[in-house]
């Protein structure tokens, strides 16, 4: 089976092309281009040059006008670039046209992100998800691969084109079969994970999902709060697979924290689809911890991106604690970082690296859980031990201490049990 549209291994020097249309802000386009440069670097490709092309509307053949296209190709070639990376989504035909005009590899942001995910996928689930996204992305681009081939063969004659067409038919069928197979395998893996989650849910420990833009510090926060050892890197998309760890809050209440895959602007929709299963963790969690990199000037745009994806996943109505992280890099009025709450409800300033602000965050998590779970205290006289036993059987006891006048219990009491214990509330 041919793997189409893989990053050609020999590509080393990229020239980036951003496109500004009348509705786009210049700053945003520049910052998106900087982000594309980081994404391209993550793939091990050096960024040699870049430009922002201003256009009134996309042209069908090359997206840009042909004059501007010729300038870009000339400059990229003068700089010795072997790859053009676009920050707009090119249609398969436009991509093909650019490749045949420039003679170098042409990729767009979506493919760069797909490649990063491919390189980073480790578990079976992530590997399957990325393979599926890639297969779906490649389907309309198969023609592209075959134009390459016929060019490499030095051909281009009528017979060869005919062979190519037949081959494309065959390949599309294979890719479609592959997509179907990947979907089946993925369903199996997801079913297995659902089972595990259900097992976990039987133990009544509440859950919080750590979500946010890539590189915001989600894994660092998980590690800081739980002593986990999740890989932390100053790279985009260090985490693809969710990791869950238990964390003890100041009250003694336990909570399960799950680290999730990061988001980025203009994320390929195939990837969002493919990662929906993984992101289910965010959908089923009791609370979301939305981590932001406070030291990034684009932090509000990052927040919007994350909230938009959460909405798409159906997790928009959850209780969200917004955590401005990396506050050690942001100085307050007196030149020192102002950790703690942010003045707004459910909003915090922390540093996952120095630990600043984390105690406040943990206390608030405690409060929110108490509210959500209806956590209350009771003193149940020893002669009513059958009530204690029933609470245990229902799995709602979070804390228990034997005292002289009875059993002191802290628990989250579902409505069906309130009648039983109400008179012993303290």
Ligand X SMILES: Nc1nc2c(ncn2[C@@H]2O[C@H](COP(=O)(O)OP(=O)(O)OP(=O)(O)O)[C@@H](O)[C@H]2O)c(=O)[nH]1
The site for ligand X (CB under 6 A) is made up of 212, 214-220, 232-234, 236-239, 262, 325-326, 328-329, 351-353
User: Residue 132's closest CA among 179, 77, 94?
Assistant: 179
HEC assignment per residue over 358-386: HHHHHHHHHHHHHHHHCEEEEEECHHHHH
Residues ≥6 apart with Cβ < 8 Å to 94: 60, 61, 62, 63
Decide if 41 contacts 181 (C-beta within 8 A).
Answer: no
H-type helices in 203-239, by residue range? 218-226
Is 234 or 383 the residue whose CB approaches ligand X more closely?
234
Minimum CB separation of residue 400 from ligand X in Å reads: 36
HEC assignment per residue over 69-131: HHHHHHHHHHCCCCEEEECCCCCHHHHHHHHHHHCCEEEEHHHHHHHHHHHHCCCHHHHHHHH
Interacting span for Mg ion (CB under 5 A) from 21-29, 66-74, 138-146, 232-240: 232-240
Minimum CB separation of residue 218 from Mg ion in Å reads: 5
Number of chain positions touching Mg ion (CB under 5 A)? 4
Q: Decide: is 238 part of the binding site for Mg ion (CB under 5 A).
A: yes
Minimum CB separation of residue 350 from ligand X in Å reads: 7
Is 102 or 129 the residue whose CB approaches ligand X more closely?
129
Is 4 or 221 the residue whose CB approaches ligand X more closely?
221
Q: What is the C-alpha to C-alpha distance for residues 255 and 257, in angstroms, rounded to an integer?
A: 6
* Residue 214 interface partner, choices Mg ion, ligand X, none, CB cut-off 5-8 Å depending on type: ligand X
Minimum CB separation of residue 120 from ligand X in Å reads: 9
Is 78 or 231 the residue whose CB approaches Mg ion more closely?
231
Is 353 or 379 the residue whose CB approaches ligand X more closely?
353
Helices (H) and strands (E) in the chain, counts: 14, 14
The DSSP call for residue 419 is H
User: Residue 209's closest CA among 158, 237, 177, 243?
Assistant: 243
Interacting span for Mg ion (CB under 5 A) from 122-130, 219-227, 310-318, 343-351: 219-227
Minimum CB separation of residue 259 from ligand X in Å reads: 7
Minimum CB separation of residue 56 from Mg ion in Å reads: 40
Is 57 or 234 the residue whose CB approaches ligand X more closely?
234
Interacting span for Mg ion (CB under 5 A) from 168-176, 196-204, 231-239, 296-304: 231-239
Minimum CB separation of residue 216 from ligand X in Å reads: 4
Q: What is the C-alpha to C-alpha distance for residues 32 and 18, in angstroms, rounded to an integer?
A: 8
Is 164 or 217 the residue whose CB approaches ligand X more closely?
217
Total residues found in the chain within this entry: 426
Is 98 or 324 the residue whose CB approaches ligand X more closely?
324
Minimum CB separation of residue 255 from ligand X in Å reads: 19
Residue 269 to residues 215, 241, 265, 312: CA-CA distances in angstroms?
20, 18, 11, 11
* Residue 136 interface partner, choices ligand X, Mg ion, none, CB cut-off 5-8 Å depending on type: none
Cβ burial, residue 289 (10 Å; 0-12/13-18/19+): buried
Is 87 or 259 the residue whose CB approaches ligand X more closely?
259
* Residue 233 interface partner, choices Mg ion, ligand X, none, CB cut-off 5-8 Å depending on type: ligand X
Q: Which residue is nearest to Mg ion (CB)?
A: 239
Percentage helix, strand, coil for the chain under 3-state DSSP, each rounded to 5: 50, 20, 30
Using only the alpha carbons of the chain, give its radius of gyration: 27
Decide if 144 contacts 91 (C-beta within 8 A).
Answer: no
Q: Which of 239, 243, 278, 305 binds Mg ion (CB under 5 A)?
A: 239
Q: Decide: is 219 part of the binding site for Mg ion (CB under 5 A).
A: yes
Minimum CB separation of residue 186 from ligand X in Å reads: 21
Q: Segment 185-214, which members bind Mg ion (CB under 5 A)?
A: none
């Amino acid at each position: 089976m041919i793997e189409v549209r893989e990053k050609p291994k020999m590509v080393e020097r990229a020239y980036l092309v951003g496109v500004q249309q009348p509705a786009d802000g210049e700053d945003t386009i520049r910052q998106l281009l900087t982000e594309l440069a980081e994404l391209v670097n993550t793939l091990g490709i050096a960024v040699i040059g870049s430009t922002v092309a201003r256009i009134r509307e996309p042209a069908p053949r090359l997206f840009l006008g042909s004059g501007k296209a010729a300038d870009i190709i000339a400059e990229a070639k003068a700089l010795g670039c072997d790859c053009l990376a676009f920050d707009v989504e090119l249609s398969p035909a436009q991509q093909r046209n650019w490749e045949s005009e420039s003679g170098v590899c042409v990729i767009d942001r979506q493919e760069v992100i797909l490649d990063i995910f491919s390189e980073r996928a480790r578990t079976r689930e992530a590997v399957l998800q990325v393979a599926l996204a890639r297969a779906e992305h490649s389907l309309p681009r198969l023609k592209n691969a075959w134009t390459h081939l016929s060019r490499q063969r030095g051909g281009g004659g009528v017979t060869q084109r005919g062979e190519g067409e037949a081959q494309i038919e065959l390949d599309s069928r294979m890719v479609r079969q592959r997509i179907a197979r990947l979907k089946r395998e993925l369903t199996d893996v997801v079913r297995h994970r659902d089972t595990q989650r259900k097992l976990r849910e039987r133990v009544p420990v509440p859950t919080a999902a750590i979500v946010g833009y890539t590189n915001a510090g989600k894994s660092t926060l998980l590690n800081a709060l739980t002593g986990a050892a999740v890989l932390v890197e100053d790279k985009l998309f260090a985490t693809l697979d969710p990791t869950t760890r238990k964390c003890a809050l100041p009250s003694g209440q336990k909570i399960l924290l799950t680290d999730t895959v990061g988001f980025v602007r203009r994320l390929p929709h195939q990837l969002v689809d493919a990662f929906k299963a993984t992101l289910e963790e965010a959908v089923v969690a009791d609370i979301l911890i939305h981590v932001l990199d406070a030291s990034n000037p684009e932090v509000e745009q990052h927040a919007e991106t994350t909230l938009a994806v959460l909405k798409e996943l159906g997790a928009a109505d959850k209780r969200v604690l917004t955590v401005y992280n990396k506050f050690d890099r942001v100085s307050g009025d007196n030149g020192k970082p102002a950790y703690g709450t942010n003045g707004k409800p459910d909003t915090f300033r922390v540093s996952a690296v120095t630990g600043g602000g984390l105690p406040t965050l943990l206390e608030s998590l405690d409060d929110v859980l108490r509210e959500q779970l209806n956590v209350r205290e009771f003193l149940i006289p020893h002669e009513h031990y059958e009530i204690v036993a029933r609470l245990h059987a229902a799995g709602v006891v979070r804390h228990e201490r034997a005292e002289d006048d009875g059993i002191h219990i802290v628990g989250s009491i579902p409505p069906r049990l309130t009648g039983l214990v109400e008179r012993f509330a303290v």
